[in-house]
C-alpha cells in the first residue's frame, strides 16, 4: 500500500512539473510574440474593453457591498476597545493591501478569465487557430498576446476602482449609519496609507495576478481539445487553477514585500 502511494505521488509530481514546464514555455513564447511587430493596438483596445469595461458592473457592485460589510464588522469590533476613530485607516489598509487585489483577481477570473479560455478553446475546436497558421499568421501574436496585455492593463485599473468604491461603501456605513465623524474617517486614511509601500505593493499584486490569470486562461484555451466538453473542462480548469494560484501568489508577494 505504501509503495503504491509513493508511486502515485511520484507520478503526480512528475505530471505537475511537466505541466509547469509547458506553461513556462508557453509564457516565454507569448512574451516573445508580444515584443515582435506589428503591434496590434486595435485588438489591444478591444481586449481591454472586454476584460476591463465589461467587468466594471460586477467589480464595482461587489466593492460597495464588501466595503459596507467590512466597515460594519470592524466598527462593531473597534467600539469594544474604544478605537472606533481608527476605523478609516483599518478599512483602507485592509482594502488596499489585501482585499482589493485578491477579490478583484477572483472576480475577473470568474468573468473575464473564463471567457478568455472559452473563446480561445472554441477557436481551437473549430480549427480557426489552424487556419491562421495556414495563412502564416501566428496565433500567439494575433490572439494570445493582445489578451495578455489587455489583462495586464485592465486588472490594476479594476482593482483601483474596487478600492475606491469599497471605501465609498465603508464611508457610508461608518459616517451615515454608525455616526462616526467624517473628518476622523478621512484623516485616518490620509495619515496612515503610504504610497511607497501600501499602494505600490497593491499594484504589484495586481500585475502578478493579471499575469497569472491571462497565462492560465490562454494556455488552457490554446491547448484544449476539439470538442465542446473539452472546452468546458478548460474553462472550469482556468477558474479553479487561477483562483488557487492567486491565493498562493498573494501569500508570496505579501511575505516578500513585507506587508
Q: What is the mean pLDDT of each run of 10 residues along the chain (259 residues)?
A: 75 82 88 85 92 93 95 89 85 93 95 92 88 86 91 95 95 88 88 88 94 94 85 91 94 82
Please check whether residue 63 lies inside any domain of the structure: yes
Query: Do the Cβ atoms of 95 and 70 come closer than 8 Å?
Result: yes
Q: What is the tally of structural domains in the chain?
A: 1
Check residue 170 and give its pLDDT: 93
Please check whether residue 31 lies inside any domain of the structure: no
DSSP conformation letters of 151-204: HHHHHHHHHHHHHHHHHHHHHIIIIIIS---HHHHHHHHHHH--IIIIIHHHHH
Alpha carbon 143 to chain centroid distance? 20
Alpha carbon 153 to chain centroid distance? 11
CB-based contacts of 91, cutoff 8 Å, min separation 6: 67, 70, 71, 74, 167, 170, 174
Nearest C-alpha neighbor of 48 from the set 138, 157, 159, 208? 157
Please check whether residue 112 lies inside any domain of the structure: yes
Check residue 15 and give its pLDDT: 82
Please check whether residue 146 lies inside any domain of the structure: yes
| Other residues' Cβ atoms within 10 Å of the Cβ of residue 143 | 26
Helix axes 2-35, 200-222, angle to 10 degrees: 100
Please check whether residue 171 lies inside any domain of the structure: yes
CB-based contacts of 116, cutoff 8 Å, min separation 6: 51, 147, 151, 214, 217, 218, 221, 238
Domain hosting 161: range is: 40-257
Please check whether residue 8 lies inside any domain of the structure: no
For the whole model, what pTM was predicted?
0.91
Please check whether residue 17 lies inside any domain of the structure: no
Please check whether residue 20 lies inside any domain of the structure: no
Which three cell numbers, joined as nine digits, stand for 21?
514546464
Percent helix, strand, coil in the chain, to 5, is: 90, 0, 10
Alpha carbon 15 to chain centroid distance? 25
Amino acid at each position: 500500500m505504501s509503495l503504491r502511494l509513493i508511486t502515485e505521488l511520484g507520478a503526480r509530481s512528475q505530471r505537475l512539473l511537466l505541466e509547469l514546464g509547458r506553461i513556462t514555455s508557453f509564457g516565454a513564447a507569448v512574451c516573445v510574440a508580444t515584443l515582435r511587430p506589428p503591434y496590434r493596438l486595435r485588438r489591444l483596445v478591444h481586449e481591454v474593453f472586454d476584460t476591463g469595461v465589461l467587468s466594471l458592473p460586477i467589480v464595482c457592485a461587489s466593492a460597495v457591498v464588501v466595503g459596507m460589510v467590512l466597515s460594519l464588522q470592524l466598527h462593531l469590533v473597534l467600539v469594544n476597545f474604544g478605537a472606533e476613530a481608527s476605523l478609516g485607516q483599518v478599512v483602507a489598509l485592509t482594502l488596499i493591501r489585501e482585499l482589493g487585489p485578491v477579490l478583484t483577481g477572483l472576480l475577473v477570473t470568474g468573468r473575464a478569465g473564463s471567457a478568455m479560455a472559452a473563446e480561445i478553446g472554441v477557436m481551437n475546436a473549430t480549427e480557426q487557430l489552424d487556419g491562421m497558421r495556414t495563412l502564416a499568421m501566428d496565433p500567439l501574436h494575433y490572439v494570445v498576446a493582445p489578451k495578455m496585455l489587455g489583462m495586464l492593463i485592465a486588472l490594476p485599473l479594476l482593482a483601483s476602482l474596487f478600492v475606491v468604491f469599497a471605501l465609498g461603501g465603508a464611508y457610508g456605513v461608518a459616517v451615515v449609519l454608525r455616526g462616526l465623524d467624517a473628518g476622523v474617517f478621512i484623516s485616518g486614511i490620509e495619515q496612515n496609507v503610504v504610497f511607497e509601500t501600501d499602494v505600490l505593493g497593491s499594484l504589484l499584486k495586481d500585475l502578478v495576478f493579471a499575469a497569472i490569470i491571462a497565462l492560465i486562461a490562454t494556455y488552457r484555451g490554446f491547448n484544449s481539445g476539439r470538442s465542446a466538453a473539452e472546452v468546458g473542462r478548460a474553462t472550469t480548469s482556468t477558474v479553479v487553477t487561477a483562483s488557487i494560484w492567486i491565493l498562493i501568489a498573494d501569500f508570496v508577494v505579501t511575505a516578500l514585500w513585507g506587508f
